[in-house]
Structure formats: structure tokens, C-alpha cells
Amino acid sequence: MATALTFDPVTLPPAAEALRSEVRQFVAETLGNEHRRNSDFGASHDPEFSRALGQRGWIGMTWPTKYGGGGRSFFERYVMTEELLAAGAPVGAHWIADRQSGPLLLRYGTEAQREFFLPKIIAGECFFSIGMSEPDSGSDLASVRTTATPVEGGWLVNGTKLWSSGAHRNHYMITLVRTPTESESRHAGLSQLIVDLRNSSGLTVRPITNLAGDAEFNEVVFEDCFVPADRLVGEPGNGWEQVTSELGYERSGPERFLSAFRVFVELLREVGPKPTDHQAAVLGRMAAHMMTLRNMSISVAGMLESNRNPVVEAALVKELGNNFEREVPEIARLVAPGGGSALFRQTLEDTILHAPSFTIRGGTREILRGMIARGLGLR
């Protein structure tokens, strides 16, 4: 049990701190006043901004240089991403490709796949969606029913994927499918295919409008959709292991506690230099939570850097971080003086409307708590 509770101290290396000022300067020069700042990584899609980041070498920073990657540490990537999120920069377009699709290909992909996809991702010109959930498979991911049947030269895919963010405008989707297997185990016979979202027949992408009125996520329907054999990621049947490793990358980063950060900034602006004792305590409590979460999250980055697999630690960061970011707008609305400025209201309302997704995406609160309980030996 002690393992899950041990978040060793990490001091960010000088190279990471040096990068911090570079990123700040870049953001200051690149983001105009008209940009609506939002720290939710999924809130924005700006290919131009992603390309500009790519030109800076800030996508695929940790990947090997032979594919055009930066060969830099997880800490440098950490600082780069937290600076962008805190500034409310539009990181949505390349986010998934940078965070998990690229690392998945590095770990399980073929050499040809790496050579084909990684340089495009790194340039900020190739965006990925996640194709995991289905109408009847949410938290119970092992129950997916989309099938891939082997045919001459590839696979025929049939089924429906759901909640695939950005599938209506991204280039590819790594899709979890069932492939033939002899085994009865529900974790067997799962495989991952890279589906070309723009040049496939038998593929229909239907945007689903969320409660905020945005069309961000999609239903993706496959009807005898052909996927070439060389788009299989890893071994057929190894999909469960691969998907689990992919999820590991997405649980402990700064995006798990910073989604509501701009609300915190605007609340501070509203309160001004002379807070009441209550306002000061509320703001200070948020700061104490955020600094501790960040500290824990950087510690997990240290574990990733030393090639450890901190499943429970990452789940703890996400559980605490998501609860915190859901709490921020709830607190802000009660302590802002007199309703607040137009900018404050806009920032607050944006976040209130998206907050329900914080504790669902990337693993629901209940699933994460179950993982932590397993780490405690309770199940």
C-alpha cells in the first residue's frame, strides 16, 4: 500500500525551467487579445497554433530524434504543457496525438508506421482521435463489439464508436476492435487499427452536440470499412495491454487539475488586491490544493521518466485533480463580488458547462476509485 502513497520529490531540471520562459514568451507573442483563454485541453482546436508549436519543436518533445522528435525529458514536456494550459492556449488539435497516439506508436507500432506518422505529428500537421468507447461500452471497455474481419490485404471493420472527440476534423483515429480469437477471455482478441478518417469508405462521422452547444465529440459508424493490413498497431489480440498503457499516459498530467485554471485567474482579478478574510481563505485554499496537486503530478512525471508504471499514483492524481477542477467554478461563483465582469462571467460559464466532463473523460471518478481500491488490496 505504501507504494501508492509515495510521491517522491522532484525538482525540475534547469533545462525545463529555461524552457518555461521560452514558452511564456511564445504564448505572449502568439496569442492575441481576441483569443478566449480556456485551460481545458479539449476546449479548442487551432491547427495554426499547433503548426506553430510544431515549428518550435514542442510536439513530440520526448520522442527520439531519428523521427524528428526532441529527445528531451518528460520534465521539459511537463513544463511546456503546463505553461500552455495555464495560459489558456488552444492546444486541442494536436493534444491526443502528442500525449498518447505518438507514444503508442513508439511503443508498439512498426518502423514504417513510426516513419510515416511521427514526423507529421511532430510538425503539428497530423491530428488523432481516440476510438475506444461505444454505445454499449463506456467504463466497461473490454465489452467493445466493433469487429475487424481479416480480408485480402487488410481488415473489414463494422460497428460504432462513440464520444470520439475531434473525429470530424482530425486525420486518424486509433480504433479498438475485436479480431478473431480462440480464447474465451473478454480481454483477448482486442486489437488496435489506425483508421484514416478522411480517406476511408464505409465510414460515417456524425458530430454530437454537447450540453454547451459545441459539436466536439462524435459518433463514428463503420460499415464494411476497409483498413489496410499495415495499419494494425502491435500484435493482433494485444489490444487490451496496449490500450491500458495508452490510458496510463493520460491520467496524471497537468490537464487533470488545470481545466478550470482561467476561472481561478479571473476570480483573483475580480477580488482585487484587498480581499475579505473569507475571500483570502477561499483563494488560498485553491492555491494549496493546486500546488500540492502539481507537486504530485510532477512526481508522477518523474516516475514515467524512470520508466516506472505508476498506475495507482496516476489514478490518485486524476481523482484529486478532477475533483478540484470541478470545485473551482462552484467556489468562484460564491465569492466573486457583485456578479463579476463580463470576462469573469464568460470564463465561469464556459467552465460550468464543461465541468461535468472533467470527472468522466479518461476514466470516470468511480473507475479511478476502483483502481485505487485495487491498489489497496481491497479487490
Residues at the contact surface with another protein, assessed by CB under 8 A: 1, 4-5, 7, 9, 17, 20, 82, 86-87, 261, 264-266, 268-269, 271-275, 277, 279-285, 287-296, 299, 313, 316, 319-320, 366, 368-370, 372-373, 375-379
CB of 55 to another protein, least distance (A): 24
Do residues 312 and 4 lie in contact, with contact meaning Cβ atoms separated by under 8 Å? yes
CB of 322 to another protein, least distance (A): 11
Closest Cα partner for 179 from 235, 248, 112?
Answer: 235
CB of 90 to another protein, least distance (A): 17
CA 5 centroid distance within chain:
24
- Grid coordinates of 223: 460499415
Phi, psi of 18 (to 5 degrees): -65, -40
CB of 30 to another protein, least distance (A): 17
- Grid coordinates of 339: 456578479
Please provide the size of the chain in residues. Answer: 379
CB of 135 to another protein, least distance (A): 24
CB of 353 to another protein, least distance (A): 22
Q: Is the Cβ of residue 96 or residue 348 nearer to another protein in the bound state?
A: 348
Q: Quick one: how many helices (H) and strands (E) in the chain?
A: 13, 8
Q: How far apart are the first and last CA of the chain?
A: 13
Q: Which residues pair with 160 in a beta bridge?
A: 221
Which residues, 6+ apart, have CB-to-CB distance to 255 below 8 Å? 41, 81, 85, 95
DSSP secondary structure letters along 101-144: IHHHHHHHS-HHHHHHHHHHHHTT---EEEE--BTTBSS-GGG-
CB of 273 to another protein, least distance (A): 5
CB of 23 to another protein, least distance (A): 11
Q: Is the Cβ of residue 265 or residue 352 nearer to another protein in the bound state?
A: 265
- Give Cα separations from 276 to 267, 271, 335, 338, 339 (angstroms): 13, 9, 10, 14, 16
Cα separation, 171 vs 278, whole angstroms: 49
